Copies of this chain bind each other. A is one copy, B any other.
Amino acid sequence: MAEEAEVVKNKQVVLKNYATGFVKDSDFIIKTDSTMSLKVPESSSKGVLVKNFYLSCDPYLSFLMQKSDSSLEAQFSRFSLGSTINGFGVAKVVDSRHPKFEKGDLVWGITGWEEYSLIAEPDSLFKIEHTDVPLSHYTGLLGMSGLTAYGGLFEVCNPKKGEKVFVSAASGSVGLLVGQFAKLTGCHVIGSAGSREKVDLLKNKFGFDDAFNYKEEQDLDAALKRYFPEGIDIHFENVGGKMLDAVLLNMRMHGRIAVCGLMSQYHQEKPEGLYNVASILIKRLRMEGFGVFDYLHLYPKFLDLVLPQIREKKITYVEDIAEGLENGPAALVGLFSGRNVGKQVVLVARE
């Protein structure tokens, strides 16, 4: 007879109603009456049961909480009302029926916003092999944000020493890393952000060559001409809208644009038009959308590059850690008011 499985309480962040525009605290409920059996059910042929330690707050999560019938958004699988939301996180395996994972393994990947998660399809989980760096870094620098920055910059843009790089939303978790990876490659890097404080940090803490507050610029085209008198070779796009339109006017011949996010457009009724499309033709630009899932196979190569840089303290990384799952919704909501600097993380449980 099988051993009786321990059953524990399992606090969860559940989608209460669809968001309209940026998510609000009131779109969530914290459900405290669920329980979880700490054994993968026998019906799950390769399931893994994990205890969650850290969760990653990412802008795309808000996108998955919208109710929308637009043909674009419909291509995403959005969260269901009344269900626990999910996203990237760091966790420890409590029980496993998957040959790749065993009890005690540390992992990062898609998990639930709850204390314990049963992951039915754990193939995209990564086992954490290096624990001489903070475990929380696997929500960002050593997880999705880092691999996104790495893939977008090196695979899409192929930067060369001396090239001029512009990063929008540069103080976000991905932008900060793109800027630093580009600096390590010998590029000249300028970022934009939405407050003086963030601009100061970009210049004085994160090693950007220069930075500006886009909210203080009446004319983004003029601002870019001031910071890039010879034009932009590489643009890492997190924002979209007017900024992307101004960037198109300031790209150099054969420039590359990695489209990583379009934060300014996610919650508009109708997106803003892009008018300077002719620049793509005239300057032979390459504009390419990508997502971290395109680059999962590069993770070992990415670690080889970035782990030594972390150990030698050549990369500056900042985390804003909200303590407690119940504070997760507010941490996520804060992303959209531009409150945080660096990676916003939610601590669910200590190791």
Contacts and interface: CB of A to CB of B under 8 A. Distances in A.
Interface in A264-278: 265, 270-278
**Oligomer: number of copies:** 2
A240 interface: yes
A241 B326 CA distance: 47
B289 A288 contact: no
B271 A277 contact: yes
Contact of A262 (B281, B288, B294): B281
Nearest to A281: B289
B249 A279 contact: no
A287 interface: yes
A283 interface: yes
Interface string A325-342: 000000000000000000
A284 interface: yes
Interface string A71-86: 1100110000000000
Interface centre among A72, A265, A285 (most CB of B within 10 A): A72
Contact of A281 (B259, B270, B281): B259
A74 to B, nearest CB: 10
Contact of A265 (B71, B76, B277, B283): B277
A261 interface: yes
A36 interface: no
Contacts of A7: none
A23 B282 CA distance: 20
A271 B278 contact: yes
Nearest to A237: B281
Contacts of A76: 282
A76 to B, nearest CB: 7
B240 A261 contact: no
Contacts of A271: 275-278
A249 B244 CA distance: 19
A76 B76 CA distance: 41
B249 A72 contact: yes
Given A273-B274, A274-B274, A275-B273, A290 B282 contact: no
A264 to B, nearest CB: 11
12 contacts: A71-B249, A76-B282, A240-B278, A262-B281, A270-B275, A271-B275, A273-B275, A280-B288, A283-B289, A284-B291, A286-B286, A286-B288
- Nearest first, the 3 closest Cβ-Cβ pairs linking A and B are A273-B273, A281-B289, A280-B289
Given A265-B277, A280-B289, A281-B291, 6 more contacts: A72-B249, A72-B278, A259-B277, A271-B275, A271-B277, A274-B275
